[in-house]
């Protein structure tokens, strides 16, 4: 029934089989009847038309990778199985080693490329963390020969030891290589696969989710094991390993917008009640308890949980990469019934690969200038002068890393990092120099036990004290003190003729 402004009433009967309408109009008005019939006919034709086609959108998938040291190599096997079975990944989130593997994957590297990366790394050198003897300056070579131990502390603000046993220099280089093409990226959402990683901020005592900024620094922060690697400091924050508070960040993946969350849990061996524990082992097990608690929270949010049996391995088995990757592959295969429901056909898979490959950056701009941060302007100019030959040349990572290693071999810097900088419309090479917070002056202690004569054992303790930049940049004052069976006090002043 239709009511007209003039009070005319139109009673319309719709015939569903024909899609037409017959109308009886009160006060037979030819003009009004004609208009009514047109309106009703138009609506009936719309109703009679075909229903709109529904487009079925596949659910977006996030893969969440857990931390666990070397055990995290298993994630590579999981990702490899998923790629072989055409299961697309729309988001990646990870913590610690899960962040490293996930970050590399998010930059567009395929699982086989990530596998080759981790196998090409000298993990013994990475974990040792010291500068090789050949890369030390002449003065530091003398220190290493005469005081053959890696123990060092400083007196800058009273007696202080480094914040970690390992400066993380070799890890820094690995991450710099991965992140170099994406150094000027504004957001991690612009990576081939949107990415997040987690660190713990000691200042706010809370988790920090890295979603933009320096990708290399984010990866360095998420895997900064407390006490072992030096923490990362940036803009009033102090970052250590994210596993302390969120080792399986499924909540972060949910916030990224994922419809389905596939989480990879590393099932490590539990401690035996009869185990004999050292102080370090006790600390490590305590850290494992803390992470295990927050992992349970993460597992509750997972739609699919892949459990990888790594009970026969430890977090330091970096030389067993192949076996750990195979464990991850096997765990994914065992979860095939849950995973294959997300597989796509060949055409959809090729479209997925094409979109991600289009966002992958493989080239790095040629730097037209060198920029050094983190040290005094005078030292920055000296480093820029040393690296001046890298201007106008394609960045050679191996050569650049060797040059930076030699700079750390002078003893002033804890670590050196590199990335691409953009100033205006020019691209340059940015060097981030991290000076030692605790020194100079540095103290190298020594304990000497001479038992060459069994009936006359000699015992002495001492130290070498070194002051830098005394009177001139590069100049040093060095003093030796030894007491016990042998007494010695000596000193010297070293002043170079030139910077080189």
- Supply the CATH number for residue 231's domain: 3.40.1090.10
Residues 483 and 339 in one domain: no
Please give the mean pLDDT across all residues of the chain: 87
Residue 128 pLDDT level (bands cut at 50, 70, 90)? confident
The runs of H, that is alpha helices, within 410-495 are none
Helix %, strand %, coil % of the chain (to 5)? 40, 25, 35
Residues 111 and 244 in one domain: yes
Q: In angstroms, rounded to a whole number, what is the distance separating the alpha carbons of residues 405 and 176?
A: 14
Q: Which residues are CB-contacts of 489 (< 8 A; sequence separation ≥ 6)?
A: 479, 480, 481, 482
Residues 112 and 208 in one domain: yes
Cα R_g (the chain), whole angstroms: 33
Q: For residues 267 and 309, is the Cβ–Cβ distance under 8 A?
A: yes
The pLDDT tens digits of the residues spanning 80-101 come to 999 999 999 999 999 999 999 9
Q: In angstroms, rounded to a whole number, what is the distance separating the alpha carbons of residues 252 and 194?
A: 12
Q: Which residues are CB-contacts of 41 (< 8 A; sequence separation ≥ 6)?
A: 20, 21
* Half-sphere exposure at residue 417, Cβ-oriented, CA atoms within 13 angstroms: 27
- The whole-number pLDDT of residue 56 equals 59
Residue 500 pLDDT level (bands cut at 50, 70, 90)? low
Q: Is 129 helix (H, G, I), strand (E, B) or coil?
A: coil
Domain range spanning residue 463?
Answer: 442-494
Q: For residues 415 and 166, is the Cβ–Cβ distance under 8 A?
A: no
- The whole-number pLDDT of residue 405 equals 94
**353, burial (CB in 10 Å: exposed 0-12, middle 13-18, buried 19+):** middle
pLDDT at residue 218 greater than cutoff 80: yes
Q: In angstroms, rounded to a whole number, what is the distance separating the alpha carbons of residues 198 and 291?
A: 13
- The whole-number pLDDT of residue 213 equals 93
Q: For residues 81 and 330, is the Cβ–Cβ distance under 8 A?
A: no
Of 495, 443, 437, the C-alpha closest to 471 is 495
Give the dihedral sign, CA 340/342/347/352: negative
Residues 226 and 95 in one domain: yes
Q: Which residues are CB-contacts of 385 (< 8 A; sequence separation ≥ 6)?
A: 499
Q: For residues 367 and 391, is the Cβ–Cβ distance under 8 A?
A: yes
Q: Give the residue from 297, 326, 359 where a domain finishes.
A: 359
Once rounded to an integer, what is the mean pLDDT over residues 53-70?
Answer: 84
Residues 342 and 451 in one domain: no
- The whole-number pLDDT of residue 413 equals 93
Instruction: Please provide residue 136's backbone torsions phi and psi, each rounded to the nearest 5 degrees.
Output: -80, 150
- Residue at 9 is within a domain: no
- Residue at 142 is within a domain: no
The pLDDT tens digits of the residues spanning 378-427 come to 999 999 999 998 899 999 999 999 999 999 999 999 999 999 999 988 99
- Residue at 397 is within a domain: no
Of 173, 179, 233, 225, the C-alpha closest to 201 is 233
Q: Give the residue from 359, 379, 410 where a domain finishes.
A: 359
Residues 221 and 337 in one domain: yes
Lowest mean per-residue pLDDT among 54-58, 73-77, 304-308, 365-369: 54-58
- Residue at 450 is within a domain: yes
Q: Could you give the number of structural domains in the chain?
A: 2
Residues 102 and 243 in one domain: yes
- Residue at 154 is within a domain: no
Locate tokens 């930059």: which residue?
107
Once rounded to an integer, what is the mean pLDDT over residues 360-376?
Answer: 93
CA distances from 49 to 15, 22, 43, 52, 350 (A): 14, 19, 10, 9, 35
- Residue at 448 is within a domain: yes
- Residue at 244 is within a domain: yes
């Amino acid at each position: 029934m239709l009511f007209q402004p003039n009070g005319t009433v139109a009673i319309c009967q719709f015939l569903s089989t024909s899609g037409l309408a017959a109308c009886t109009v009160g006060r037979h008005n030819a003009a009004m009847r004609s208009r009514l019939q047109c309106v009703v006919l138009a609506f009936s034709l719309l109703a009679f038309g075909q229903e709109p086609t529904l487009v079925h959108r596949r659910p977006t998938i996030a893969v969440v990778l857990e931390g666990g040291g070397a055990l995290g190599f298993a994630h590579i096997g999981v990702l490899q199985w998923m790629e072989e079975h055409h299961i697309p990944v729309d988001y990646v989130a990870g913590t610690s080693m899960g962040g490293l593997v996930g970050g590399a994957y998010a930059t567009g590297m395929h699982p086989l490329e990530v596998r080759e990366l981790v196998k090409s790394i000298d993990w013994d050198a990475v974990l040792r963390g010291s500068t090789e003897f050949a890369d030390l300056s002449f003065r530091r070579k003398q220190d290493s020969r005469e005081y053959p131990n890696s123990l060092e502390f400083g007196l800058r603000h009273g007696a202080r030891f480094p914040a970690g046993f390992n400066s993380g220099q070799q890890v820094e280089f690995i991450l710099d290589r991965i992140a170099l093409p994406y150094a000027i990226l504004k957001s991690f959402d612009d990576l081939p696969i949107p990415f997040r990683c987690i660190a713990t901020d000691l200042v706010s005592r809370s988790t920090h989710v890295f979603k933009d900024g320096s990708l290399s620094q984010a990866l360095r922060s998420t895997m900064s094991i407390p006490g072992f690697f030096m923490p990362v400091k940036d803009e009033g924050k102090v970052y250590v390993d994210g596993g302390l508070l969120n080792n399986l960040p499924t909540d972060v993946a949910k916030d990224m917008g994922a419809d389905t969350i596939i989480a990879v849990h590393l099932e490590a061996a539990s401690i035996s009640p009869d185990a004999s524990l050292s102080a370090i082992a006790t600390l490590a097990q305590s850290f494992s308890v803390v992470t295990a608690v927050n992992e349970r929270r993460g597992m509750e949010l997972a739609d699919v949980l892949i459990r990888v049996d790594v009970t026969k391995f430890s977090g330091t088995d970096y030389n067993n990469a192949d076996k750990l990757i195979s464990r991850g592959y096997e765990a994914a295969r065992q979860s095939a019934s849950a995973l294959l429901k997300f597989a796509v056909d060949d055409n959809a898979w090729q479209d997925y690969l094409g979109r991600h490959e289009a966002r992958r950056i493989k080239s790095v701009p040629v730097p037209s200038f060198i920029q050094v941060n983190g040290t005094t302007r005078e030292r920055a100019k000296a480093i820029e002068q040393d690296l001046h030959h890298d201007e106008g040349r394609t960045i050679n990572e191996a050569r650049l890393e060797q040059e930076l290693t030699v700079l750390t071999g002078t003893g002033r810097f804890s670590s050196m990092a590199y990335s691409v900088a953009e100033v205006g419309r020019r691209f340059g090479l940015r060097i981030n120099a991290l000076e030692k917070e605790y020194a100079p002056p540095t103290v190298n202690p020594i304990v000497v036990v001479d038992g060459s004569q069994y009936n006359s054992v000699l015992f002495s303790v001492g130290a070498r004290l070194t002051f830098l930049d005394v009177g001139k940049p590069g100049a040093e004052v060095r003093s030796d003190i030894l007491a016990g069976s042998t007494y010695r006090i000596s000193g010297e002043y070293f002043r170079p003729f030139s910077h080189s």
